[in-house]
Structure 1
Amino acid sequence: MQDREYSLNSQVQVEQAEVGRVLRNTYGLLAMTLAFSGLVAFVAQQMRVGYPNFLIVLAGFYGLFFLTVKLRDSAWGLLSTFALTGFMGYTLGPILNRYMGMSNGAEVISSAFAMTALVFFGLSAYVLTTRKDMSFLAGFITAGFFVLLGAVLVSMFFQISGLQLAISAGFVLFSSAAILLQTSAIIHGGERNYIMATISLYVSIYNLFISLLQIFGIFGRDD
């Protein structure tokens, strides 16, 4: 009986150590990629580069994303992770310049940034503190993806009042749920690859920031 209890305790300790390792590596890499992405965005903004063609953005994002997935178990995966987040930072520069053209653009950007940080740290702290299993959100995220995809396609062909605001609000909820799910997956053993955890959280933070930027921009317009 004692041997069995010792074995169970040892297994729990190993699992806890593994969770701690993944969390440290994930948040460490996430901090570095966010800093790198922010630097690239700043350079792109200062150089006033134009926003890339939509097809280039899709090809660049999905190409680098799937490359990272393929290389996730090797050191090359780190390089592709920085390439992916750097590319997304590059696309962010022209977006920031567009908002800086508003009379209150700096306030809109700083508000979106502060709210993004507050939401991310708040949701992460909630899951890490309560250690709740958020796997039930997987179905909501899947359904939400298709709903948002449909709404985006509709917005491309029809000018519907309030649709863009609804889409942005939907992405805020979608990204928040993804942060909860990914953080829960780390602490409950569903995710053991810190590179995949990092890019998942990074994409959620990016989408959250862009969506909040659009919401604050809509309410902050002069017209």
Structure 2
Amino acid sequence: MRQWPQGLWVVTPDGKTLGFHYHKPVPGDNYRQNQQRWVDDTVKMLEAAAKAAGPLPPRTARASNPFPDRGVGPTKDGGVRLAVSVIGLQNGRQDGPPAVDSILLSKEEWTAFAPPEGKTAWALPEAVAKRFAPALAPVTDSIFVPRPTDVNYAIIKAASGLTADGVGVVRYAGAWSSLHNRDGDPNLPIRCDMTGEGFATYDAKTKQIRSFLWVLKGTYRNGANGTPIPTAAVVEWEEKE
């Protein structure tokens, strides 16, 4: 741990290291090649570690979903966990797997997306708009992803429209810009810029949102001299699975 800042270890309960892998990108290889090498080298390490460990009793742990409310239904406090997927683009095509994340909104924050009483057009609170920060970066490593406090511009405007058969529709338009320094180093700035449109369906009587979908596009820039990478994101949620 003193030699390497991160990585993957396989360690016995008594502290013996059976395997270790630390990924370093190879200059000249593109993102997809480096990601595949990361996977391949990790698998080789795990296979070697399993061989070094020898026979072990079968595991009894059961698979579980740590976020069963991601993208569907309410959270325990009445809010929602919006499902987020973000990709980088190269020559107009997806470059690598999507960054999978979520936007956790409290009950009060979620209410801001529904039509206020007596209004058909409104602007959401800036603090709520800033919660879209996880949708701005096409990576999952937290040092590269802006937090709401890093978002220096955020605006979401909404307008409710046609209502039919007890179901109303809200349309949204938003824009975001963020800037933060990786590891707090001013020489390593990361900037994200996004615009997006979305819509929601809601119960016209109760004003409860039933489905929610956004599509965003923008750029991600890593480093003062880094080339802006085109990005795209989807933010979604539905009342029931």
Q: Higher strand share goes to which structure? A: 2
TM-score w.r.t. the length of structure 2 is 0.20
- Structure with the larger helix share: 1
Question: What's the TM-score, normalizing by structure 1?
Answer: 0.22
